[in-house]
Amino acid sequence: MNLLNDIERLVTCESPSTDLAAVARSAEVTAEVGSALLGSPPERIVLDGRTHLRWRLGTGPRKVLLLGHHDTVWPIGTLERIPFGVRDGVLRGPGCFDMKTGVVMIFHAVASLGSPDGVTVLITGDEEIGSPSSRGLIEAEAVEHAAVLVCEASADGGALKTERKGTSMYEVTLHGRAAHAGLEPERGVNATVEAAHQVLAVTRLADPATGTTVVPTVVSAGTTTNTVPAKARFMVDVRVRTTAEQLRVDEDFQALRPVLDGAKVEVTGGPNRPPLELSASAALFDLASALLPGLAQAAVGGASDGNFTAGVGVPTLDGLGAVGGGAHAESEHVLVSEIAPRTELLAALVRELT
């Protein structure tokens, strides 16, 4: 099956997002595979040293954007431990599920349509680190199209992703005053204690009823064991289902105030990806369900570049890629039996939308 051969080519070219040379090599392999199927070379768009690929097919108005990424979370050398392979109908290899199989599916789906007009394929190289260089490119491209199909891996059981939580990332820095912890601790302002107060304060911003999570993660403070800490910091991961919740949490972060006399609170960061709300995907999911009855849909906590396209107001359907599991884990795998039918579904969606 040519699909499997092409997936192998992409998976065996390792592409951790933080390794610019590796991402560049992966872009060349991805460009070769895509060009052979789409009949033309892509534009190579290098932003902050990261290589993104764009094919604009036909000359008519832009109708459908197919979106994916060729970078992965796996460091160079992972292939030695988790080699590419297919056994008992299961395909394995770093990045196979998230999301190199989906990239190959895009190429084969579009190629099966002959010469579609108004279709754009955009494959980026920094999604796994939050799309710092490609976000503007993605948003600018999306607004020229009537619909976006994101070929990230499916949710459990092959469900399409009709909702994704938006993400916000914060760093909270607490400034105190150093003093000797044994001789005169009362002369200090303990940044660790202030951090404890603020960690509890931000945790209370979560709202389980609306699906909003606010999770303090990395914490650091102090310099030596016998010194009142003059500085502390902690990171916070926020996930929300609605734009209103994202704004509410951001306002509350900006309103944090110190508890200890003499302490200062500094907040940096903020919303990174807007939520993909059900309203942005409902019509496209209905169309997909008509083409392949029995499809399930899911709301997930993880974000993708589909959050950006939905955030600029373009109808977006996500999770159209591989069926399997284990994203970002050593159990990452793809069910081979699902690759062809899901590629056919993708092709049918593009046909209907053009």
The catalytic residues are 71, 127
Residues in Cβ contact with 43 at an 8 Å cutoff, skipping those fewer than 6 apart: 53, 54, 55, 56
Distance CA 198, CA 170 (A): 12
| Cβ count within 10 A of residue 257 | 9
Please check whether residue 124 is in contact with residue 235, taking contact to mean a CB–CB distance below 8 angstroms.
no
Distance CA 124, CA 138 (A): 9
Helix pair angle (2-11, 336-353), 10° resolution: 100
166-175 and 119-124 strand pairing = unpaired
Closest listed residue to residue 275, CA positions, set 321, 319, 235, 244 = 244
Q: Is the peptide bond before 99 cis (omega within 30 degrees of 0)?
A: yes
**CA torsion, points 89, 325, 38, 123, in degrees to nearest 10?**
-160
Query: Max Cα separation, the chain?
Result: 80
Distance CA 5, CA 220 (A): 47
Three-class SS state of 53 = strand
**Count of H helices and E strands in the chain?**
10, 16
- DSSP codes joined into one string, 69-125: E--BSPPTTHHHHS--EEETTEEESTTIIIIIHHHHHHHHHHHTTSS-SSEEEEEES
